[in-house]
Structure 1
């Protein structure tokens, strides 16, 4: 089954999370993870984003930069953050690129993901 991979431009772990939260608060203009900035407040996921994720027709997986490299080494050179589709054959394709993230707000991100997911899903079989 196809799934969505949302990949943060940040590393996993409690220490990194604390540093990221401080960076977002003290210098949001220089924070490098637009996905984090759009979908999280200082410490928790924005309620509208959380509700949106529950409406998606595909399973959602969130990964950090270091986890992406471990699980999908062939994607390591791609700019992040990004959203990918991952199908059952192991084919991973970009859905939202890092360049596109630079021009989005949260509602724009949700609309773009929703529109592209609708186009990416295989037709239902009877």
Structure 2
């Protein structure tokens, strides 16, 4: 069955004890306002920016691993998209709540997440 996917956005992973200063820095650096200072399931772990270019989802996330930036690919079928990416050489690392953490053949980590607003932003790619 066909499914669709596209770049959802970028997540700025911050290995920090306090997310507010990290979010304030990235807000100023990117010229974006913090739209939701409590965007995650666990309070104090995610802050989402608004007014992003192309309606990309951009947020800062408090993490335990070293700081880095990762991207999210959104799909209307998370498992089908993860399988498609595996066929291209990616590896599934872990399923967390509703998304797959994956690793590209280049070693970069990324997530495959559920597409929430297919009518907004860039037109999704359609895959057989």
- TM-score for both structures, normalised by structure 1: 0.31
- TM-score for both structures, normalised by structure 2: 0.31
More helix by share: 1
